[in-house]
């Protein structure tokens, strides 16, 4: 090839890339983004005061080895020089998301120099007691909530510009001026788009279920901002997987369906050029996706969320508006569906992020097959609700083919358990997604889910996110009592360990589990962990009876 041809080819290549085909029209995108903007909820603000000064005490029996112990009243702190004690910890008594304000008050002579104060904000006691540095490999160290503030003029009132998520604030002198001063008038302007009080639970509800519900509601409330955030501390953004579960809980509690609507439109407006949804999007500085953050399972769950939204609200207009996005997501499956009816997991896994759960070593082949069947069935339901089932009339056959293949290739009739083709791993996720996909009969599902308790080398779930699907699977196949007990054991375990909000990762036998190599990086108020609200309120007969 001569140089000229190389040049021409380079130029055309560039033009081709610059004008790459967008599956959606700009008009569609503008409309969806406009709808998303129209539905930005107004945040409710409240001013919250610290309740007391605490100290963190090492305690092997406490969650992560630390517990907060009452030290003295807040008013006393407001009158004590920061130079007189190394550090103070204020306890706001509950998890808050918002903006921290404090005053700096001189105590003796006229201040003549800046003061420098370090603040560390924590959702759980260990964050106040664990040094953040040296930082570990994993997510950005800057997520950890410590800030050094230079107060140029004393007295002054300062607002830390960063939005924070915390119950505890450690206040430390960083650089001492020559005069004495106190930090006073600490408060938090807390923000949420949750509003109103969800209906009270029936009087007969057991105390532990009430507690779980209360903590779940707080979790949801804190994550409800101008989108459904995954966690107000980290990552502070909309992910489809979190949206799906938050919307479920919202439907049975705050009923802010405008927020769900906003999120569904926003995700549509920010879908990839290919038409597939990005798994996560950002609102600031302007709405934009995490480019090419394609999560296969999340894209499919979007469809389920649209169906749930329609059923909760009857808002056909929105479902119609989003229909072409929903339909497009179903096209992911045929890309990987093989002649034999199985998804080509290895190929899909190379091209997409298949999330399923945070669990080291989890092999996701079976889960993907089950989740795909589940999502296709739900999408077909949605099509029927919209009278559009003809547009997806190939789905029933595809579902059947995939179901048959799952039974043929993954199911071990002897053990009643599912395992993958290349990896014989037995996991919770495999069994529960087969159950949720309806691959098994109720009886078979019961057998599989029960067998998990007695089999060896079972890979457990790693997060409340995956555990949600386990509870749903138990309920779907009628293991109501098991569902109730599992829910109370798992989420009740967090409550008993002092949770104000439910955690991103929870393993009853390992307080230090972290997907990020460093447990203070975990989010301790995480959207996907709020779903007891949904279970307790959707299935009153199961969860509210003594």
Q: Across-strand partners of 121?
A: 169
CA distance 517 to 336: 33
Nearest to 189 by CA among 254, 274, 92: 92
User: Long-range CB contacts (< 8 A, 24+ apart) of 444-453?
Assistant: 444/416, 445/473, 445/476, 445/477, 446/477, 446/478, 446/479, 447/416, 448/416, 448/417, 448/418, 449/473, 449/474, 449/477, 449/479, 449/482, 450/479, 450/482, 451/415, 451/416, 451/417, 452/417, 452/426, 452/428
**Strand, helix or coil at 425?**
coil
Residue whose CB is less far from a second copy, 403 or 514: 514
Sole binder of a second copy in the list 115, 294, 325, 436 (CB under 8 A)? 115
First vs last C-alpha separation in the chain: 80
Closer residue to a second copy (CB): 141 or 324 = 141
Contacts with a second copy by CB under 8 A: the residue count is 40
- The answer to the question of residue 327 lying near a second copy (CB under 8 A) is no
Helices and strands, counts by H and E, the chain = 19, 16
Stretch binding a second copy (CB under 8 A), from 58-66, 153-161, 396-404, 409-417: 153-161
Closest CA to 123 of 164, 77, 87: 164
Selected from 29, 51, 55, 116, the binder of a second copy by CB under 8 A is 116
CB of 163 to a second copy, least distance (A): 7
274 binds a second copy (CB under 8 A): no
- The H-assigned helical ranges of 314-426 are 316-330, 332-336, 345-351, 365-385, 395-410
Q: Smaller CB distance to a second copy: residue 143 or 409?
A: 143
Per rule CB under 8 A, is residue 141 in the interface with a second copy? yes
**Per CB under 8 A, does 15 bind a second copy?**
no
The residue among 156 and 511 lying less far from a second copy, judged by its C-beta, is 156
Residue 437: closest CA among 363, 376, 478: 376
The verdict on 353 binding a second copy (CB under 8 A) reads no
187 - beta bridge partners?
101
Q: For the chain, what is the radius of gyration of the CA atoms? A: 26
Does the footprint of a second copy cover residue 112 (CB under 8 A)? yes
Nearer to a second copy, 94 or 112 (CB): 112
Task: By CB under 8 A, tell whether 184 contacts a second copy.
Answer: no
Per CB under 8 A, the segment of 142-150, 209-217, 251-259, 391-399 that binds a second copy is 142-150
Residue 298 or 470 having the CB closest to a second copy: 298
* Segment lying near a second copy (by CB under 8 A), choices 75-83, 156-164, 407-415, 479-487: 156-164
Q: Which is nearer to a second copy, 10 or 148 (CB)?
A: 148
Q: How far apart are CA 494 and CA 8, in angstroms?
A: 63
Q: Which stretch binds a second copy (CB under 8 A): 7-15, 150-158, 359-367, 469-477?
A: 150-158
| Distance between CA atoms of residues 83 and 516, nearest Å | 36
Does 517 sit near a second copy (CB under 8 A)? no
Which residue number, 233 or 256, has a Cβ lying nearer to a second copy?
Answer: 233
Specify whether the CB–CB gap between 347 and 333 falls below 8 A.
no
Q: Are 319 and 257 in contact (CB under 8 A)?
A: no
Our finding on whether 114 is near a second copy (CB under 8 A) is yes
Q: Which is nearer to a second copy, 62 or 149 (CB)?
A: 149
Q: Which is nearer to a second copy, 53 or 295 (CB)?
A: 295
**Per CB under 8 A, 423 contacts a second copy:** no
- Kindly state the helix (H) or strand (E) to which residue 311 belongs, with its residue range: helix 296-313
- Min dist. Cβ of residue 299 to a second copy (A): 17
17 part of the interface to a second copy, by CB under 8 A: no
User: HEC string of 494-545?
Assistant: HHHCCCCCCCCCCECCECCCCCCCCHHHCCCCCHHHCCHHHHHHHCHHHHCC
Q: In a 10 Å sphere around its CB, with 0-12 CB exposed, 13-18 middle and 19+ buried, how is residue 456 labelled?
A: exposed
* 344 is a contact residue toward a second copy (CB under 8 A): no
Using CB under 8 A as the binding rule, whether residue 539 contacts a second copy is answered as: no
- The residue range among 92-100, 278-286, 368-376, 482-490 that interacts with a second copy, by the rule CB under 8 A, is 278-286
As a 3-state breakdown, the chain gives helix, strand, coil percent values, each rounded to 5, of 45, 20, 35
Contact between 288 and a second copy per CB under 8 A: yes
**Does residue 460 belong to the site contacting a second copy (CB under 8 A)?**
no
**Shortest distance, position 31 Cβ to a second copy, whole Å:** 23
Is residue 175 at the binding interface for a second copy, with CB under 8 A as the rule? Answer: yes
Contact status: 109 vs a second copy (CB under 8 A): yes
Q: How far is the CB of 272 from a second copy (least distance, A)?
A: 12
Binding flag, residue 287, a second copy (CB under 8 A):
no
Distances (CA, A) of 125 to 65, 67, 509: 9, 6, 19
Q: How far apart are CA 203 and CA 16, in angstroms?
A: 65
- The answer to whether 533 touches 240, Cβ cutoff 8 Å, is no
Using rule CB under 8 A, residue 136 touches a second copy: no
Dihedral sign for Cα atoms in the order 277, 278, 281, 285: negative
Among positions 10, 15, 142, 443, the unique one binding a second copy when judged by CB under 8 A: 142
Give the nearest distance from C-beta 114 to a second copy in angstroms: 4
- In angstroms, give the least distance from the CB of 111 to a second copy: 8
Residue 113 near a second copy by CB under 8 A: yes
List the one residue from 293, 313, 455, 476 that touches a second copy (CB under 8 A).
293
Residue 143 in the binding site for a second copy (CB under 8 A): yes
Beta-carbon count within 10 A of 446 CB: 19
The alpha carbon of 230 is separated from its chain's Cα centroid by a whole number of angstroms, namely: 3
Contact residues toward a second copy (CB under 8 A) are 109-110, 112-116, 135, 139-143, 147-148, 150-153, 155-156, 162-163, 174-178, 234-235, 237, 280, 282, 284-285, 288-291, 293
């Amino acid at each position: 090839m001569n140089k000229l041809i190389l040049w021409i080819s380079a130029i055309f290549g560039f033009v081709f890339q610059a004008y790459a085909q967008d599956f959606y029209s700009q008009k569609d995108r503008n409309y969806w983004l406009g709808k998303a903007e129209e539905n930005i909820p107004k945040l409710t603000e409240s001013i919250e005061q610290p309740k007391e000064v605490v100290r963190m005490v090492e305690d092997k029996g406490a969650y992560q080895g630390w517990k907060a112990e009452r030290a003295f009243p807040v008013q006393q702190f407001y009158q004590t020089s920061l130079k007189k004690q190394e550090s103070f910890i204020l306890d706001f008594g509950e998890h808050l998301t918002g903006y921290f304000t404090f005053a700096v008050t001189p105590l003796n002579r006229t201040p003549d120099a800046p003061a420098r104060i370090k603040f560390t904000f924590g959702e759980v006691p260990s964050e106040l007691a664990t040094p953040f540095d040296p930082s570990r490999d994993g997510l950005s160290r800057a997520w950890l909530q410590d800030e050094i503030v230079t107060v140029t003029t004393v007295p002054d009132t300062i607002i830390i510009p960063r939005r924070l998520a915390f119950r505890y604030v450690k206040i430390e002198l960083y650089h001492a001026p020559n005069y004495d001063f106190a930090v006073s008038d600490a408060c938090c302007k807390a923000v949420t788009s949750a509003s109103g009080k969800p209906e009270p639970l029936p009087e007969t509800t057991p105390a532990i279920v009430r507690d779980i519900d209360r903590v779940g509601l707080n979790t949801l409330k804190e994550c409800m901002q101008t989108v459904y955030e995954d966690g107000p501390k980290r990552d502070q953004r909309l992910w489809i997987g979190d949206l799906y579960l938050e919307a479920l809980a919202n439907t049975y509690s705050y009923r802010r369906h405008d927020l769900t609507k906003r999120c569904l439109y926003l995700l549509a407006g920010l879908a990839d050029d290919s038409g597939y949804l990005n798994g996560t999007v950002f609102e600031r500085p302007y709405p934009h996706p995490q480019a090419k953050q394609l999560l296969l399972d999340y894209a499919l769950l979007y469809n389920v969320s649209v169906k749930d939204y329609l059923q909760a609200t009857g808002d056909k207009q929105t479902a119609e508006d989003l229909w072409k996005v929903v339909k497009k997501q179903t096209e992911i499956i045929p890309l990987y569906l093989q002649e034999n009816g199985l998804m080509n997991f290895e190929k899909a896994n190379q091209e997409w992020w298949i999330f399923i759960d945070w669990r080291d070593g989890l092999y996701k082949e079976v889960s993907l097959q089950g989740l795909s069947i589940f999502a296709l069935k739900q999408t077909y339901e949605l099509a029927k609700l919209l009278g559009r089932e003809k547009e997806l009339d190939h789905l029933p056959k595809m579902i059947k083919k995939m179901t048959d293949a799952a039974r043929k290739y993954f199911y071990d009739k002897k053990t009643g358990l599912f395992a993958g083709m290349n990896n014989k791993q037995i996991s919770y996720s495999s069994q529960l997604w087969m159950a949720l996909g309806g691959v098994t009969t109720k009886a078979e599902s019961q057998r599989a889910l029960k067998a998990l308790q007695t089999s060896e080398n079972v890979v457990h779930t790693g997060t409340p996110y995956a555990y949600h699907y386990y509870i749903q699977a138990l309920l779907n196949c009628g293991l109501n009592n098991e569902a109730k007990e599992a829910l109370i054991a798992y989420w009740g375990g967090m409550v008993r360990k002092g949770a104000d909000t439910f955690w991103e990762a929870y393993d009853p036998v390992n307080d230090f589990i972290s997907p990020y190599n460093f447990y203070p990086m975990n989010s301790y108020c995480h959207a996907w962990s709020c779903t007891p609200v949904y279970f307790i309120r959707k299935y009153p007969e199961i969860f509210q009876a003594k």
